[in-house]
């Protein structure tokens, strides 16, 4: 019982990046939103959130900036994108807008005002007219997006992946089990 009490009443022993010996802790520079520290026995590992996510101190995980609610790390500050105002009577609930600097990405504006960055799969770009991802050959304004990154052959293979050959059906080598018989009651 004593070890548990010692653990619960343990005094903080701060070390570099670790205010306590164990736990998850935000980066000390408040404008660094996507990095945090995981501390074990006072030793830290810096963890970087996936692109577009920030460290959420309350949850101890990476989440969307609007969910983390961290000062200096709002969606607009992280993405440097502000959702255009739309007429709600004719607008979509979560409208999409092309990333002005990157054809492969776009922003989904949650309820029309909170941006979240999303992306198209490799070989595709965001079509700002159709408001969806499409193959680069179908979006003239992004026709050169993959030049120098992917060859025409690679783009065609991404669009039309080779179909795997069907495998022959395996025949089981197990013997079938004999059917189970239920005991029959004799009429008396």
**Placement of tokens 């000390």 in the chain:** 28
Q: What confidence category does residue 124 fall into, taking pLDDT thresholds of 50, 70 and 90?
A: very high
The mean pLDDT of 91-118, rounded to a whole number, is: 92
Quick check: 51 and 40 in contact, CB under 8 A? Answer: no
The answer, yes or no, to whether residue 91 has pLDDT greater than 90, is: no
Q: Which CATH class is domain 10-64?
A: mainly beta
Highest mean pLDDT among 80-94, 121-135, 148-162, 170-184: 121-135
pLDDT tens for each residue of 159-186: 998 888 777 777 767 777 777 766 666 5
**Given this model, what pLDDT does residue 145 score?**
95
DSSP 110: E
Domains 10-64 and 81-142 share a fold: yes
Per domain, the residue ranges of the chain are: 10-64, 81-142
**Given this model, what pLDDT does residue 179 score?**
74
Which of 77, 79, 55 has its CA nearest to residue 67?
55
pLDDT tens for each residue of 6-59: 455 556 678 889 999 899 999 999 889 999 999 999 999 999 999 899 999 999
**Given this model, what pLDDT does residue 148 score?**
94
The fold of 81-142 is Antimicrobial Protein, Tachycitin; Chain A (2.170.140)
The C-alpha atoms of residue 74 and residue 79 are separated, in whole angstroms, by 8
């Amino acid at each position: 019982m004593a070890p548990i009490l010692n653990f619960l009443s343990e005094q903080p022993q701060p070390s570099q990046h670790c205010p306590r010996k164990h736990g998850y802790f935000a980066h000390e520079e408040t404008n660094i939103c996507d990095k945090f520290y995981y501390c074990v026995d006072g030793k830290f590992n810096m963890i970087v959130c996936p692109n577009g996510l920030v460290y959420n101190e309350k949850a101890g995980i990476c989440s969307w900036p609007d969910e983390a609610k961290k000062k200096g790390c709002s969606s607009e500050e992280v993405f440097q994108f502000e959702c255009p105002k739309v007429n709600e009577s004719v607008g979509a609930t979560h409208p999409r807008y092309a990333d002005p600097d990157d054809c492969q990405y776009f922003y989904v504006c949650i309820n029309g005002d909170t941006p979240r960055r999303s992306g198209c799969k490799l070989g595709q770009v965001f079509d700002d007219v159709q408001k969806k991802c499409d193959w680069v050959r179908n979006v003239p304004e992004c026709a050169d997006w993959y030049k120098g990154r992917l060859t025409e052959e690679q783009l065609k293979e991404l669009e039309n992946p080779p179909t795997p050959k069907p495998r022959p059906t395996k025949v089981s080598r197990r013997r079938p089990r004999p059917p189970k018989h239920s005991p029959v009651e004799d009429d008396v």
